[in-house]
């Protein structure tokens, strides 16, 4: 499985998304939207919005959180095939 995350250091939802991946030993490529030219434009092109974090899982773009609700633990665990432990 290939996972890429579009994130920024100042983004608490991004930090939580990466913590989730790290806790489940899932390798990923982190694209910092602050320092990667064209990253924000790619997100907008692919999702129609300027929202981070964004996962790209085997080429499929997935928003791993819901605004106002936070990280989608159950949905992401199921999608990534991992057992959900206490977040």
Report the pLDDT averaged over residues 55-82: 94
76: buried, middle or exposed (CB in 10 Å: 19+, 13-18, 0-12)?
Answer: buried
Percent residues over pLDDT 70 in the chain: 97
User: What is the rounded CA–CA span in Å between residue 82 and residue 87?
Assistant: 13
How do residues 16-49 score in pLDDT, each as one tens digit? 999 999 999 999 999 999 999 999 999 999 999 9
Q: Strand 29-32 relative to strand 3-7: parallel, antiparallel, unpaired?
A: parallel
String of DSSP letters for 34-82: TTSTTHHHHHHHHHSS--S-EEEETTEEE--EETTTEE-HHHHHHHHT-
Q: What is the pTM of this model?
A: 0.91
Instruction: Provide the pLDDT for residue 11.
Output: 95
How would residue 85 be classed by pLDDT, with cut points 50, 70 and 90? low
Q: Strand 54-57 relative to strand 3-7: parallel, antiparallel, unpaired?
A: antiparallel
């Amino acid at each position: 499985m290939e996972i890429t995350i579009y994130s920024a250091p100042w983004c608490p939802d991004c930090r939580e998304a990466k913590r989730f991946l790290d806790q489940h030993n899932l390798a990923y490529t982190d694209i910092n939207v602050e320092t990667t030219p064209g990253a924000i434009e790619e997100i907008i092109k692919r999702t129609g919005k300027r929202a981070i974090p964004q996962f790209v899982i085997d080429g499929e773009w997935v928003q791993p959180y819901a605004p106002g609700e936070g990280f989608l633990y159950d949905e992401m665990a199921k999608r990534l095939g991992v057992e959900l432990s206490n977040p």
